Amino acid sequence: MSESEYALQATLEAKPEKAEEVEEFLESALPMAEDEEKTTTWFALRFDDTTFGIFDTFPDEDGRQAHLDGEIAEQLMANADELLAEEPQIEEVDVLAAKHSG
């Protein structure tokens, strides 16, 4: 079993005037992700001026659910109406292959 077989992919569409705030939120979320014992990898992404993403992996379903119930998701959803043009699109995905370096 892989240490990152379970994953989440989230797409966030910021309101144009809130894009920098979304970027700052994602950058500030890294310590929260680091504190999550079962989050194997966590990436905050920017695709274009207003489209952002989060991709993270977990060793099992419990880890994935713990993240969905965790502080980052809580803060994101608490500020979604203010910062985002639409509801975050969050998908549960399976990782088929991964490379980790220690």
Q: How far is CA 90 from CA 29, 53, 56, in A?
A: 17, 9, 11
54 inside domain: yes
46 inside domain: yes
Instruction: Specify the residue for token string 């079962």.
Output: 38
Here the CATH number for the domain that contains residue 78 is 3.30.70.100
CA-closest candidate to residue 5, choices 54, 40, 33, 47: 40
74: containing domain: 6-94
33 inside domain: yes
> What pTM, to 2 d.p., does this model score?
0.93
Report the side by side order of strands in the sheet with 41-46.
41-46, 51-58, 6-13, 89-94
101 inside domain: no
102 inside domain: no
1 inside domain: no
Tens digit of each residue's pLDDT, the chain (102 residues): 578 999 999 999 999 999 999 999 999 999 999 999 999 999 999 999 999 999 999 999 999 999 999 999 999 999 999 999 999 999 999 999 988 886
* Count of domains for the chain: 1
